[in-house]
C-alpha cells in the first residue's frame, strides 16, 4: 500500500462488533479479565489502549518503523528516550534545537549527571570532533527551528554507526510525508505530533518510532514506568489528523514556495530563509533526503526589531502565536517569543536576530496569505509614532 492509503487504512480496520468505520475512542482506564491474568490483550490504559494502538500502528507504518509509541507530548517522548541513559553518558545535539529540548537536556538531565554538547550538525567535522568515549547518542533536528538549517542525515547515520552511537532524529518539521529518517539510517524518529501530524492545532502529542526491537522494549518499559501516555481522545484526534497528512503537507508546501518567492523579491524583506530556495545553503542536501521543503519560512524584515514587531502585530490571517504545523497560518517573533530563553549574544551568534520573523504557512488560499503579508509589511515601514 502507498503512503496516502496507509494514512487512512493501517491500524484502522472497521470495528468488529458494530462495523464502525472509524476507530472508536476507548475511553476506559481498565479492562475486565475472565480469570486473573486471562485478558483480551489490555490490562490498564497507562500500559495500552486500543485507540492509542491504532495511532501507533498507523504512524509507525508511515515512518517505515516496525515499532511505534505514542506519547502525551513531544517533550514526553523526548524525556522518556533520555531515561534510557545513565549518569556519565554524553549526548551531542544540533545547536539550533527546539527550545524545550534544549531545556530538558540542559536543565533536567544535566542534574542527573548526563552531559550535552550542542554543535552545528550540518558540519560533519564539528560533529565528529565532539564525540567522546562516553558519547551515547546524537540528536538531530533537520530542518532546525527557526533557522531551517539542514543536516545530512545519511552522513550522520554513517558516523554514528562507525562509532557505535545511537542516532535520533526529530522529524517534526517535515513529517513522514516529506522525510523518513529511519530509511536514511537513524535508529529513532521522534515527533511532536502537536504540529503537522495532528495538523489542526487542537491536540498535544508525541511519537517515537524505531526498527530496533531492543530499543523499542527499553523505551516502552520506561514509558509505562514514567507514564507519559496520551489519553484515548487525544490519540483519536491525532489519528483523525493523520488521514489528511499527505494532502495537507502538499498544500503547506505549495503555499510556502509561493510565499517564499513573493517575499524574496519584496523591498521590505532583507532575507528569506526557506530550504526550497536554491540560495538556501541546505537546498542540495534537502533534495537528496526529503521529498519536499515543508511549510516553514524565516524572514528578516528591514528596519530591525520595531519593524519585525509591527509585521507580527499587523497580520490578520497569520495569527500571532507559538507552535506551527496547523491548517491555519501562524506568525511569531523567535527572539521575543519561542527563543527568548536563549541569551541575546547566543541568539545573535546563531542568527536569531531581532528582525527575524517565523511563518508557519497554513493551507488557506495563497493570494489571501500574500495580501495579508503585503499589508503587514507596508505597515512595518511606517513611523511607529504615527500609528
Ligand X SMILES: *Cc1c(COP(=O)(O)O)cnc(C)c1O
Tell me which stretch binds ligand X (CB under 6 A): 106-114, 132-140, 170-178, 305-313: 170-178
The C-alpha atoms of residue 325 and residue 210 are separated, in whole angstroms, by 23
46 flagged as catalytic = yes
Cell of 110: 544535566
98 flagged as catalytic = yes
CA torsion sign, 366 to 326 to 15 to 18? negative
152 flagged as catalytic = no
Give the Å distances, CA to CA, from 368 to 91, 288, 299, 358.
44, 32, 19, 18
Q: Is 74 in the site for ligand X (CB under 6 A)?
A: yes
356-360, strands of its sheet edge to edge: 269-273, 296-301, 356-360, 330-332, 319-320
Give, as ranges, the residues between 275 and 304 that touch ligand X (CB under 6 A): none
3-state DSSP call for residue 282? coil
Angle at 329 between CA 326 and CA 335, to 5 degrees: 100
Catalytic residue among 170, 187, 354, 372: 170
Tell me which stretch binds ligand X (CB under 6 A): 94-102, 109-117, 229-237, 305-313: 94-102
* Closer CB to ligand X, 6 or 339, in the complex: 339
* Closer CB to ligand X, 73 or 380, in the complex: 73
Cell of 182: 529511519
Grid cell 500571532 is found at 320
Given 192, 201, 314, 380, the residue binding ligand X (CB under 6 A): 192
* Closer CB to ligand X, 223 or 314, in the complex: 223
Q: How many residues belong to the site for ligand X (CB under 6 A)?
A: 16
Tell me which stretch binds ligand X (CB under 6 A): 147-155, 188-196, 228-236, 248-256: 188-196
Grid cell 531551517 is found at 148
Catalytic residues: 46, 98, 170, 195
Residues of the shown chain interacting with ligand X in the complex, contacts defined by CB under 6 A: 73-75, 98, 100-101, 141, 145, 170, 172-173, 192, 194-195, 204, 206
Amino acid at each position: 500500500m502507498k503512503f496516502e492509503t496507509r494514512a487512512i487504512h493501517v491500524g484502522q480496520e472497521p470495528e468488529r462488533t458494530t462495523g464502525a468505520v472509524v476507530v472508536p475512542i476507548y475511553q476506559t482506564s481498565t479492562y475486565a479479565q475472565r480469570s486473573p491474568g486471562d485478558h483480551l490483550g489490555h490490562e490498564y490504559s497507562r500500559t495500552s489502549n486500543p485507540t492509542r494502538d491504532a495511532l501507533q500502528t498507523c504512524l509507525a507504518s508511515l515512518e517505515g518503523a516496525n515499532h511505534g509509541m505514542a506519547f502525551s507530548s513531544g517533550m514526553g517522548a523526548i524525556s522518556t528516550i533520555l531515561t534510557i541513559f545513565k549518569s556519565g553518558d554524553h549526548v551531542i545535539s544540533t545547536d539550533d534545537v527546539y527550545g524545550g529540548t534544549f531545556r530538558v537536556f540542559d536543565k533536567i538531565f544535566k542534574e542527573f549527571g548526563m552531559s550535552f554538547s550542542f554543535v552545528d550538525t550540518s558540519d560533519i567535522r564539528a560533529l565528529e570532533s565532539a564525540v567522546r568515549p562516553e558519547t551515547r547518542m546524537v540528536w538531530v533536528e533537520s530542518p532546525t527551528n527557526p533557522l531551517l538549517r539542514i543536516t545530512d542525515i545519511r552522513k550522520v547515520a554513517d558516523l554514528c554507526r562507525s562509532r557505535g552511537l545511537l542516532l535520533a532524529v526529530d522529524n517534526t518539521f517535515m513529517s513522514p510525508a516529506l522525510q523518513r529518517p529511519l530509511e536514511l539510517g537513524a535508529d529513532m524518529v521522534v515527533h511532536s505530533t502537536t504540529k503537522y501530524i495532528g495538523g489542526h492545532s487542537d491536540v498535544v502529542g508525541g511519537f517515537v518510532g524505531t526498527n530496533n526491537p531492543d530499543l523499542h522494549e527499553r523505551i516502552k518499559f520506561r514509558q509505562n514506568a514514567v507514564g507519559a501516555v496520551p489519553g484515548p481522545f487525544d490519540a483519536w484526534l491525532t489519528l483523525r489528523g493523520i488521514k489528511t497528512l499527505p494532502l495537507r503537507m502538499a498544500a503547506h508546501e505549495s503555499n510556502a514556495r509561493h510565499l517564499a518567492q513573493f517575499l524574496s523579491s519584496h523591498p521590505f524583506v532583507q532575507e528569506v530563509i526557506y530550504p526550497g530556495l536554491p540560495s538556501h545553503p541546505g537546498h542540495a542536501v534537502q533534495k537528496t533526503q526529503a521529498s519536499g521543503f515543508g511549510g516553514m519560512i524565516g524572514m528578516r524584515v528591514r528596519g530591525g526589531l520595531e519593524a519585525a514587531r509591527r509585521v507580527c502585530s499587523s497580520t490578520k490571517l497569520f495569527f500571532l502565536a507559538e507552535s506551527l504545523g496547523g491548517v491555519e497560518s501562524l506568525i511569531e517573533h523567535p527572539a521575543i517569543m519561542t527563543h527568548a530563553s536563549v541569551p541575546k549574544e547566543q541568539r545573535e551568534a546563531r542568527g536569531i536576530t531581532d528582525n527575524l520573523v517565523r511563518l508557519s504557512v497554513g493551507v488557506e488560499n495563497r493570494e489571501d496569505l500574500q495580501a495579508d503579508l503585503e499589508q503587514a509589511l507596508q505597515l512595518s515601514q511606517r513611523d511607529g509614532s504615527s500609528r
